[in-house]
Structure 1
Amino acid sequence: MIARGVRDKRVFVRADLNVPLRGGAITDDTRVRASLPTLQRLMRAGARVIVASHLGRPKGQRKPEYSLRPVAPRLAELLGTGVSFGEDCIGPVAARAIAELGPGQAILLENLRFHAGEEDDDPDFAKALAELADCYVNDAFGTAHRAHASTAGITRHLDCVAAGELLESELEHLRVVREPVRPLLVILGGAKVSDKLAVLEALAPHADVLAIGGAMAYTFLAARGEPVGASLVEPDRIEDARRVALAAEKSGRRLLLPTDHVVAEKIADGAASRVVSAIPDGWMGVDIGPETAKRYAAEAQQARTLFWNGPMGVFEIAAFARGTAEVARAAAASAATSVVGGGDSLAAINQLGLGDRITHLSTGGGASLEYVQGLELPGVAALER
């Protein structure tokens, strides 16, 4: 559908090229690679492809460290053809650069978020984007939960709109979590209950088994009255944790928490650590323990649908990353339809070389979590008007 009748037309592709940069070099090009199928299809069809994305949070200011310029040569290398770079994403500068494109050629525009109108879904900014194109394709699932000018507002000014292959693939694979073959195992990690409260509330009565790791597990343990030492706990979320646990219980679901822990006196490379079943005073939980990792792995073997988002410990420190690695191996070994999302979870899968054993690696982050909750995504709704 996205490649039908687009020869010589200007097709604006909202991609997600929000890649990590260090010293002006891309350190992980996963998102660039994920954008290739849609771009290749349009270029083969003879479209003049305009690629637009955000990078980081420049907050409406032109900050050189957030420029998309370093992404253009990598995108060109992966596409096997030249990709020009536009110094702006609207106005005469962008229009002139786009006018020089021939059929089957592509340009990458400068960071959309250099303009405050992007995140504000400003009508004038959305119109300025639309004036550059004849058709619009949204392939940025990672920002589909945001009503921004390039994901929502632009569609009000163009009649020819469509979903890209990555966005379609994300929706198709995440739908299996909303409508699972049971039993459904959901493994959630991360630092704070507050960051994932909505998804916890939605999935506690939905998942057959909800296994919790990461620092947010200590708020749940504190809610049970178990010792948590100096672990990260959100006191104002203890009642929320109790409510989530009760929702699972009332629905006949199982909520699993760590029963052993890797603890340390401080979070630092080389810090002394040990495995305990009860966290002592002055020590903090930094990872799930080996027995907990085995329990979660056993659940993965029984599951027919598996969704994992978030690390089990302080993944940035190798000594505290073993629980996350064990969950990654368990997800890969499971016969379940598996969907993995979240930066640290994906990093663990990729570091271990297990990507080809996971059914779907979701680039969506927050969008993935909102979609599996059953929420409407503005970027998707805008295509269905």
Structure 2
Amino acid sequence: MAKIKTIRDVEVRDKRVLVRVDFNVPLDENGKVSDNTRIISALPSITYLLDAGAKVILASHLGRPKGQMNPEFSLKPAAEELAVQLDKPVQFAEDCVGPDVEAAVNFLQLGSVLLLENVRFYSEETSNGREFARQLGALADVYVNDAFGTAHRAHASTAGITEFVDTCVCGFLIERELAFLGEKTSDPVRPFTVILGGAKVSEKINVIDRLLEKADTLLIGGAMAYTFALANGIRVGDSLSEPDKIQVAREALKKAKEKQVRFLLPVDTVITNSLDFGSRSVGGIEVIEGDIPDGWEGVDIGPKTTELYRQVVAESGTVLWNGPMGVFEIDDCAKGTFAVADAVGANQNAISIIGGGDSVKAIKSSGNAEKVSFISTGGGASLNFLEGKELPGVTALDTIDS
């Protein structure tokens, strides 16, 4: 992949710079931002541009308003939180295109910031409408994509806009995402250990296939471990599994053997005879090795597996983690996930990469967020990139040789 130009590579002084950020943040019952992680992640690019004397225009989506103006999905709370983080005023536009927005951009002072209203208030955003993309492009001399979480979508504000702006580069957040998920997994410090969890083999099989070309060890947890158990002839009781993917699992195990990659599956499992996710409760809990009886389901890796995985992580030079080891939202089923999080955080000699999704929640909840090398802001984008798929929001940008 050709190296993408960043904001360091272009002149931004006195320019209108439109930055696609990911301010798709949760709001509390009072309409205030309840988790500002994504806003914090965008600050390095924003402050760089402000210090460089640019007019900074920010575009983002929030939620799924389905192409309708809906105050519930307004970005105004994000503007208020950004103002707190920047310690300076942030102007807010009540729309994202049109004459009023163009006027607001024209009146914007150098070194000032304007946040546009939710781009998904227009259905043309997600359909990549050409006219909508042109209107967004008319607001900018330079376009910056720093929203990795939406880079796998060919939307108007992530891809279509680049047709209408001459200079299109990435921000520091996307630069770091590409470096850690790309370069540091393509040429890793060894041993390279990949920890994969989550519910479905079908959702991760392409990632598994790709990483079997690079990894030294794969550690499998979560419900997808039960599909691999079925592939090995082990009964899984009422555990969440994909019987129709048994052959896919067998092929992955075969490839691992051919590539001489250690493919470790749980040797013991925490099981329950009753799981109520709504009330976050379970019935009886046991630890079992081998077959899981009918009427019981696996909800976490067991203590022997936890210790085995901990030892592997401790000896690793690079660790990539995507997906929990069990139903970590319930305390009785969370020990394996949090033990893995502790193990990743404890290995300060390794490059540790948290590949988006629920792993991010786990690493933060366990208090290990500050101990790892990198936490990806992408969910689907992270998986797509690890699979080797092109990300439209990245491939649309200028490259060093272009």
Task: Measure the CA separation in 2 of the matches of 1:194 and 1:64.
Answer: 37
Deviation at 1:274, TM superposition (A): 2.0
Query: Which piece of structure 1 moves more, 269-278 or 121-130?
Result: 269-278
Match of 1:285 in 2: 298
Spell out the pairing of 1:295-306 with structure 2 (5 A cutoff).
295-306=308-319
Match of 1:379 in 2: 393
Deviation at 1:200, TM superposition (A): 1.7
What is the TM-score normalised by the length of structure 2?
0.92
Q: Quick check: 2:159–2:396 contact (8 Å CA) kept in 1?
A: yes
Spell out the pairing of 1:353-368 with structure 2 (5 A cutoff).
353-368=367-382
Deviation at 1:27, TM superposition (A): 2.3
SS in 1 for 2:152: coil
Spell out the pairing of 1:306-325 with structure 2 (5 A cutoff).
306-325=319-338
Structure 2 counterpart of 1:310, which letter? Answer: G
Structure 1 counterpart of 2:262, which letter? Answer: R
Structure 2 counterpart of 1:296, which letter? Answer: Y
Change (3 A) 1:182 1:124: same
Structure 1 counterpart of 2:13, which letter? Answer: R
2:88 to 77, 81, 98: 81
Match of 2:227 in 1: 219
**Residue 91 (str. 1) matches residue 104 (str. 2):** no
Q: Quick check: 1:205–1:247 contact (8 Å CA) kept in 2?
A: no
Deviation at 1:311, TM superposition (A): 0.9
Task: Measure the CA separation in 1 of the matches of 2:233 and 2:104.
Answer: 63
Deviation at 1:296, TM superposition (A): 1.0
1:275 to 282, 287, 305: 287
Match of 1:236 in 2: 244
Structure 2 counterpart of 1:77, which letter? Answer: V
1:131 to 133, 138, 143: 138
Structure 2 counterpart of 1:300, which letter? Answer: V
Q: Quick check: 1:178–1:374 contact (8 Å CA) kept in 2?
A: no
Match of 2:214 in 1: 206
Spell out the pairing of 1:154-165 with structure 2 (5 A cutoff).
154-165=161-172
Q: Deviations over 1:307-361 (max 9, x none)?
A: 0011111121122111110110111112221101223211222222222211111
Match of 1:2 in 2: 7
What is the TM-score normalised by the length of structure 1?
0.95
1:340 to 335, 351, 354: 354
Task: State how many pairs are aligned.
Answer: 385
Q: Quick check: 2:357–2:378 contact (8 Å CA) kept in 1?
A: no
- Structure 2: which 5+ runs fail to align? 1-5
Match of 1:15 in 2: 21
2:118 to 92, 95, 111: 111
Task: Measure the CA separation in 2 of the matches of 1:315 and 1:97.
Answer: 46
Q: CA RMSD in A?
A: 1.6
Task: Measure the CA separation in 2 of the matches of 1:367 and 1:112.
Answer: 19
Structure 2 counterpart of 1:327, which letter? Answer: V
Q: Deviations over 1:174-215 (max 9, x none)?
A: 221122122210001111112222112212343111111111
Spell out the pairing of 1:46-195 with structure 2 (5 A cutoff).
46-174=53-181, 175-195=183-203
Structure 2 counterpart of 1:6, which letter? Answer: V
Q: Deviations over 1:264-313 (max 9, x none)?
A: 12323342222222322101111111111111111111211110011111
Task: Measure the CA separation in 1 of the matches of 2:337 and 2:13.
Answer: 47
SS in 2 for 1:342: coil
Task: Measure the CA separation in 2 of the matches of 1:256 and 1:31.
Answer: 34
SS in 1 for 2:168: strand
Query: Which piece of structure 1 moves more, 72-81 or 275-284?
Result: 275-284
Deviation at 1:89, TM superposition (A): 1.2
Task: Measure the CA separation in 1 of the matches of 2:312 and 2:208.
Answer: 18
Structure 1 counterpart of 2:111, which letter? Answer: G
Task: Measure the CA separation in 2 of the matches of 1:266 and 1:33.
Answer: 40
Deviation at 1:57, TM superposition (A): 2.4
SS in 2 for 1:102: coil
Structure 2 counterpart of 1:363, which letter? Answer: T
SS in 1 for 2:7: coil
Match of 1:331 in 2: 344
Q: Quick check: 2:223–2:299 contact (8 Å CA) kept in 1?
A: yes
- Structure 1: which 5+ runs fail to align? none
Deviation at 1:227, TM superposition (A): 1.5
